[in-house]
């Protein structure tokens, strides 16, 4: 029995577990692409701040009258308070969380719908491709801000972060649909797709088992870009007063600091906190998008290596 156990636990020389090989390749890629590593570190830092902050500050502190009004940073309020007595640390923690929720939900819905349209149009071709391409090209010319302002104004009475995300997702699918369609058109003529088609594989099997894995890095890059666009769109709408006053998102924080004249009152801590969080968020998303784009683009990957 002991000899059998020794044989079972013996590792063949020269072979490594797949997860260890993948981890080493990931480390090597991050070393070659420091921008992606920095972007991931920034996003991870922001997520750690949000997760740890939820255990430090209560939810009620992010609402008016939870502390002294117009207090600069102190030991009890490290980020200070605003004119209405909100604890800015709580506002940054829960506001960042809700803003990320808007970006993630809108980005996922937009990329999912856009990728579905792109695969249907590019893989099947013919009149289906022509009709869907014309619809996407026409919708891309429509001003995003104008449509979003009209939709947000109509839904303002029932506005929540979920409704805001779905409102933004109405237009978030256009760019992914156009770009993913171009990638699928190239992949459709690839040899492995032709071989799978000759072997009698169904369209669903070819799309999900043959094309989707090769397109995964590009889909991830499109998702990160869609999240960044959705966050920017939500902040713009909320800064115009079209968000939910009951939810302390980053956009509503900017709206309140402009409405309550934080610049004229010299309340620098009220202005600085959301700006720092947004800079970290957008720089991190940009660097992650650039890194994933290099991973998905063979020309950029060959140039960097």
For the chain, how far is it from start to end, CA to CA, in angstroms? 50
* pTM of the predicted model as reported, rounded to 2 decimal places: 0.84
Q: Return the pLDDT at 24.
A: 67
In the block, tokens 């308070």 appear at: 81
Per-residue pLDDT of the chain in tens (305 residues, 90 and over written 9): 444 444 444 444 444 554 454 566 667 766 777 888 899 999 999 999 999 999 999 999 999 888 899 889 998 899 999 999 999 999 999 999 999 999 999 999 999 999 989 888 888 778 888 898 899 988 888 888 889 999 999 988 888 999 999 999 999 999 889 888 888 888 887 888 888 888 877 777 887 787 888 888 788 888 999 999 999 999 999 999 898 888 899 999 999 999 998 999 899 999 999 999 999 999 999 998 888 877 666 555 545 55
User: In 10 A of CB 207, how many CB atoms?
Assistant: 20
Q: Return the pLDDT at 107.
A: 94
Look up residue 301 and give its two tokens.
């990957």
Give CA separation, 121 vs 171, 177, 186, in Å.
Answer: 18, 9, 13
Structural domains in the chain, sorted by start: 49-67+103-304 (1.10.3720)
DSSP H or E segment with residue 51: helix 34-54
> What is the sign, positive or negative, of the torsion defined by CA atoms of 295, 296, 299, 302?
positive
CA distance 199 to 192: 11
Give CA separation, 33 vs 38, 96, 295, 300, 303, in Å.
Answer: 9, 27, 10, 11, 12
Closest by CA to 242, choosing from 146, 172, 103, 110, is 146
Closest by CA to 286, choosing from 31, 42, 28, 50, is 42
Q: Return the pLDDT at 201.
A: 78
Q: Return the pLDDT at 7.
A: 41
- Judge contact between 67 and 81, C-beta under 8 A: yes
């Amino acid at each position: 029995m002991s000899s059998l156990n020794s044989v079972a636990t013996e590792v063949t020389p020269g072979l490594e577990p797949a997860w260890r090989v993948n981890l080493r390749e990931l480390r090597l890629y991050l070393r070659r692409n420091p921008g992606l590593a920095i972007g991931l570190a920034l996003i991870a830092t922001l997520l750690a701040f949000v997760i740890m902050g939820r255990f430090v500050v209560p939810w009620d502190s992010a609402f008016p009258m939870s502390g002294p009004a117009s207090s600069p940073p102190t030991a009890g309020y490290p980020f200070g308070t605003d004119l209405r007595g909100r604890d800015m640390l709580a506002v940054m923690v829960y506001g960042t969380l809700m803003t990320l929720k808007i970006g993630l939900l809108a980005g996922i819905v937009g990329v999912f719908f856009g990728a579905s349209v792109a695969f249907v149009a590019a893989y099947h071709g013919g009149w289906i491709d022509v009709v869907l391409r014309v619809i996407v090209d026409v919708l891309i010319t429509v001003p995003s801000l104008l449509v979003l302002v009209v939709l947000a104004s109509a839904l303002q009475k029932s506005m929540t972060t979920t409704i805001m995300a779905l409102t933004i997702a109405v237009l978030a699918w256009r760019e992914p649909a156009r770009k993913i369609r171009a990638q699928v058109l190239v992949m459709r003529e690839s040899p492995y797709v032709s071989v799978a088609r000759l072997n009698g594989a169904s369209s669903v099997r070819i799309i999900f088992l043959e094309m989707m894995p090769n397109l995964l890095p590009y889909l991830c890059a499109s998702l990160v870009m869609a999240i960044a666009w959705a966050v920017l769109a939500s902040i713009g709408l909320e800064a115009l007063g079209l968000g939910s006053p009951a939810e302390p998102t980053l956009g509503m924080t900017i709206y309140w600091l402009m409405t309550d004249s934080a610049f004229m009152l010299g309340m620098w801590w009220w202005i600085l906190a959301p700006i720092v969080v947004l800079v970290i968020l957008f720089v991190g998303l940009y660097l992650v998008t650039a890194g994933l784009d290099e991973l998905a683009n063979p020309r950029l990957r060959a140039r960097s290596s």
